[in-house]
Structure 1
């Protein structure tokens, strides 16, 4: 479905370019027809998602609102004709705002990731920063020029602020969702929806620019490109939700990725506009120098904030004693690994490792020596696990390894054998302490297992290895290791 949408999108852009070069049909007709086609495709997928019992009730409500938004898009030619017949001059604006309002409701209904009050406030404040950046942009390109040309009055504010208010509300909701993260069942669809709304914001910015410069009767080709791109992304989001339903699995919440930089981008954009305005005045005193100084100060503060944020992120995902990844990063990496390898047709593997005799080390030599043993074992894992594999400490003397992009299962067995071969005595406080561990290996064919299933199998294999004796052993999951149901009496 995504490939078909991509081909259709490229075809529409090519046709639009051809009409701009003198075709017999105007690019507006091509663009409006394409918007209806994308709307029909998206609405069919959105209806299917809204009726899927496997989705959360709140998520089904969100897709109902998306369905309404796309229905407005499909019927917009008829609605515009009817409104104009009724004497409403701004019929295009009415249908567009109805489309955006339904989309705003949909984004508000999307279930976000569960988090604490502090994290919710952080996401809201970051979204507020993005919102302020959007306000600065719209003031510079559309609202400000219109007010400057027509004077400041209630009528002018209403006329010029109609689009910006709706768009800014949409921008805030999108930013909050992207910065906080979504429920695992809607991560990828929400990202596509967010991308579509950001492109829509850009298209409305073009509309505002034309409005602010007295060209409201004109439609820019870039405006139609933005709107067509938005419609294609909405259809892709609905199709992606249907794909996730068919897959029958929920993906883990990934990291925020590029979305975490949205507040920084908003601040940088605001300062860039301020510098541009100062340079256009051709007078560095007083606003030019102040703008340059404020920009440099903000850049230094943001740079330091990025370093602090990176350090905080690393600390949250790293075991403080060994430097290995912690349980949270193990789980997130395993989820992403399984989902990516399912799409790429590659094998995945998880190793669950439990150290043997570690309690005796703590009891006889003390916890400090025990910590040194854990550090030495972590070094063994770092040396034996090839990139992009991820060694992790789960807590205590329990470790795990995520292996990704495997061409065949034997590659996972080779890693387990390499770890076992590297085990040996280590010198702790002038005493030789043997390192020994039980290693369980479980592999998944592309799309075969979920995270919980592969970890469960690796656990069973580890217990099998531990039952073989105190020396270092490794075992592979087999069907016979699963607990057998009790026979009926």
Structure 2
């Protein structure tokens, strides 16, 4: 089907250009002056028939094919009526060449031409456009009326006024001749309104606007020449060339919209800027015409009033332009820092994305997030925070180039748009200077406020076709800098794409690429295995077996940890239930410990999910322990506490993992239904050689005992460490000294060995 569609598209394009080329006959006639008046008229009408027929046919296809939204479809239906009237008008005009009658004006074809204009006006006015506020719509209406008023003055002076003063002329001729410039004024109003409103179908509307503009120019010059100069153009003269070009542009507009070319959306904003001068040109035209009409008046009377009116209007326009410039400045400036705001940054990014990529030229965006800014706000107040933000703005202005744009996106987040860089290294150099500059302490009263920044860099390339892509990439690089230790920059690479990693992780869950390994936890007094902790691994199809450190943090950021965590719990319970069935004497007393992420804990469906997994696998709730990170223990909300209490009532144990690495408030250990405290390996290191390390670890153990919690020490690597922990009262331990994490089948073999040796020795 694809080759057929491609061939059909090429044939259609060839037909469009072929029909347009037929109008070239009118150009040949214009340059050579070939033929009599009758022959020129016949050639003119013959050249129009194919192009107007094709325009109407393509317009009908565009309307009936069903791909347009309702507002745009309504607009194209109105335009299609005008296209059909054009076909009929040219067909009638062609037929008149073969009827031996005296030419009359206005002929039937002239009425048909005129009848199509209101439909064009209506179609242009109802065409979907960019959304605007009420104030913007009023301003747009005023701008459009200014242009039309200026044109109305010119047409009245040059066309309508002289026509109305014709004596002895046929009233029908006068009425029709006067109606044509009035219809052109309506068309001009619709045309200017459309262009200033920024239509959604930008390129097609641009072509159609060009078509209508040529028609207005041709109509006006044809009538003005006849009224003012007594010159009557015939087919083959230049107004007929303009009409022909206008017809060709109408065909190209319909064809372009039919192909649904969406590449013009990015140019709409710049078009609005180019057309903003139209109202002022209209005012200048009107006063120029007034001055010309008053040229015979003395300066004392009408001339002086004209000069004064021009001066006053010029001052009003100058004031309005200054006010617009000031409003624009305020609209795109952050009031606190004086930097650009989010809107201007978005505009600059859009310009970067629109520009074609060139060899030796690079564009980038830098995203800056201040580290440890919130504590400054919370501790010293918002005035101190504002002082830091202003200091950051000064640093940004000092470092960036004159053509770069620095802005504040909100809060403590900033961005810098770097267009036309000579190399990628130049962006990295700017980022490093920013890192260094932002390390300078900020003096606020008697306080010295230290702040740093994590910076992400994203370059414009083939993958960044939208501004959103650039910002997402810069954001991913910035978070990579935070994970790497803060106070530094990172350049975006494909492996930082959290969206792609999120999708890949979710596919890994669906495709069973994850595997669960189990690490035993032993009773330090007997060496007996009492618990196994489930630890996830990713059997990546390209990168091999990945440890949790390679993907868990990204999973937490993106939310992929929720389906991942459910999969781990289900698979671990399934395997543990199988061990209980196969080795009941050994596995009945064995506990299963599974990590629960902070994102899972806040889910309202957590209890139902866990209950469903236990029912599905048949693993008993009173042999399951869920391990929470300290971030959950720190100031948990009431729903979270309620969920954990429900789980505890089901018989499930709750453990705090990696205790001592975060900022958990000890008081919350009494509020939460915690039964196990796992001491982080950092407390175990050196307890067999360093008395201070021993004292700290012992204090943590005593603290847990005071809360009547079971204590598990992680990271035990030597027998001496195990002895010290047992000596200070720690009940349980895990680490490489006892066993490394192992696949499920290996642990099943270990359970089989326990039938003959109940004590798990060092592996």
| Pair 1:361-2:399 in alignment | no
Please tell me the root mean square deviation across aligned C-alpha atoms, in Å.
Answer: 4.1
Distance 1:157 1:249, change over 3 A: closer
Give 2:113's match in structure 1, choosing from 96, 103, 117: 96
Give 1:79's match in structure 2, choosing from 77, 85, 92: 92
Q: Which residue of 2 aligns with 1:257?
A: 273
Instruction: Tell me the distance in 2 between the aligned counterparts of 1:313 and 1:188.
Output: 27
Equivalent pair of 1:193/1:234 in contact (CA under 8 Å): yes
1:133-172 mapped onto 2 (5 Å cutoff): 133-150=150-167, 158-172=175-189
Instruction: Tell me the distance in 2 between the aligned counterparts of 1:207 and 1:262.
Output: 24
Q: Which residue of 2 aligns with 1:455?
A: 471
Equivalent pair of 2:457/2:489 in contact (CA under 8 Å): no
SS of the residue 1:352 aligns to: strand
Instruction: Tell me the distance in 2 between the aligned counterparts of 1:387 and 1:10.
Output: 49
**What is the CA-CA distance between 1:425 and the residue it aligns to?**
0.6
Which one has a larger percent helix, Structure 1 or Structure 2?
1
Question: CA-to-partner distance for each residue in 1:335-365, whole Å, 9 max, x for gaps?
Answer: 3432333799976543322222222333344
**What is the CA-CA distance between 1:43 and the residue it aligns to?**
5.6
SS of the residue 1:149 aligns to: coil
| Pair 1:16-2:27 in alignment | yes
- Gaps (5+ residues) in structure 2? 1-9, 511-566, 568-763
Q: Which residue of 2 aligns with 1:318?
A: 333
Instruction: Tell me the distance in 2 between the aligned counterparts of 1:344 and 1:161.
Output: 58
| Pair 1:226-2:242 in alignment | yes
Equivalent pair of 2:163/2:174 in contact (CA under 8 Å): no
Distance 1:442 1:69, change over 3 A: farther
Q: Which residue of 2 aligns with 1:273?
A: 289
Q: Which residue of 1 aligns with 2:147?
A: 130
**What is the CA-CA distance between 1:123 and the residue it aligns to?**
1.4
**What is the CA-CA distance between 1:381 and the residue it aligns to?**
3.0
Instruction: Tell me the distance in 2 between the aligned counterparts of 1:52 and 1:332.
Output: 35
Give 2:206's match in structure 1, choosing from 178, 182, 191: 191
**What is the CA-CA distance between 1:45 and the residue it aligns to?**
6.2
SS of the residue 2:415 aligns to: strand
Higher mean C-alpha deviation, range 44-53 or range 466-475:
44-53
Higher mean C-alpha deviation, range 230-239 or range 297-306:
230-239
Instruction: Tell me the distance in 2 between the aligned counterparts of 1:345 and 1:77.
Output: 54
SS of the residue 1:199 aligns to: helix
Equivalent pair of 1:426/1:435 in contact (CA under 8 Å): yes
SS of the residue 1:321 aligns to: coil
**What is the CA-CA distance between 1:163 and the residue it aligns to?**
0.7
Higher mean C-alpha deviation, range 230-239 or range 162-171:
230-239
Distance 1:156 1:53, change over 3 A: closer
| Pair 1:105-2:122 in alignment | yes
Instruction: Tell me the distance in 2 between the aligned counterparts of 1:330 and 1:420.
Output: 20
Bigger relative contact order (CA 8 A; separation at least 6): 1
Distance 1:20 1:51, change over 3 A: same
SS of the residue 1:463 aligns to: helix
| Pair 1:307-2:328 in alignment | no
SS of the residue 1:399 aligns to: strand
Question: CA-to-partner distance for each residue in 1:253-308, whole Å, 9 max, x for gaps?
Answer: 515212222222211111110001111x3544522222222112211211121111
Give 2:219's match in structure 1, choosing from 204, 210, 226: 204
Q: Which residue of 1 aligns with 2:506?
A: 485
| Pair 1:181-2:202 in alignment | no
Equivalent pair of 2:211/2:247 in contact (CA under 8 Å): yes
Q: Which residue of 2 aligns with 1:292?
A: 307
Question: CA-to-partner distance for each residue in 1:149-204, whole Å, 9 max, x for gaps?
Answer: 3389976762342112211211222222233333xx32343334334323322222
Equivalent pair of 2:52/2:251 in contact (CA under 8 Å): yes
| Pair 1:467-2:483 in alignment | yes
Give 1:57's match in structure 2, choosing from 56, 70, 79: 70
Distance 1:464 1:115, change over 3 A: same
Instruction: Tell me the distance in 2 between the aligned counterparts of 1:436 and 1:305.
Output: 43
Higher mean C-alpha deviation, range 423-432 or range 341-350:
341-350
Equivalent pair of 1:423/1:472 in contact (CA under 8 Å): no
**What is the CA-CA distance between 1:437 and the residue it aligns to?**
1.7
Instruction: Tell me the distance in 1 between the aligned counterparts of 2:265 and 2:495.
Output: 25
- Gaps (5+ residues) in structure 1? none
Instruction: Tell me the distance in 2 between the aligned counterparts of 1:225 and 1:143.
Output: 24
**What is the CA-CA distance between 1:206 and the residue it aligns to?**
1.1
SS of the residue 1:361 aligns to: helix
> Normalised by the size of structure 2, how large is the TM-score?
0.55
**What is the CA-CA distance between 1:23 and the residue it aligns to?**
4.3
Question: CA-to-partner distance for each residue in 1:312-350, whole Å, 9 max, x for gaps?
Answer: 122212222333222222223323432333799976543
Equivalent pair of 1:35/1:73 in contact (CA under 8 Å): no
Aligned length: 484
Higher mean C-alpha deviation, range 128-137 or range 428-437:
428-437
Distance 1:123 1:93, change over 3 A: same
Instruction: Tell me the distance in 2 between the aligned counterparts of 1:6 and 1:414.
Output: 51
Rg (Cα) greater in structure: 2
Equivalent pair of 2:26/2:44 in contact (CA under 8 Å): no
> Normalised by the size of structure 1, how large is the TM-score?
0.82
Instruction: Tell me the distance in 1 between the aligned counterparts of 2:415 and 2:247.
Output: 44
Instruction: Tell me the distance in 2 between the aligned counterparts of 1:10 and 1:345.
Output: 41
**What is the CA-CA distance between 1:428 and the residue it aligns to?**
2.9
Equivalent pair of 1:146/1:213 in contact (CA under 8 Å): no
Give 1:400's match in structure 2, choosing from 391, 403, 415: 415
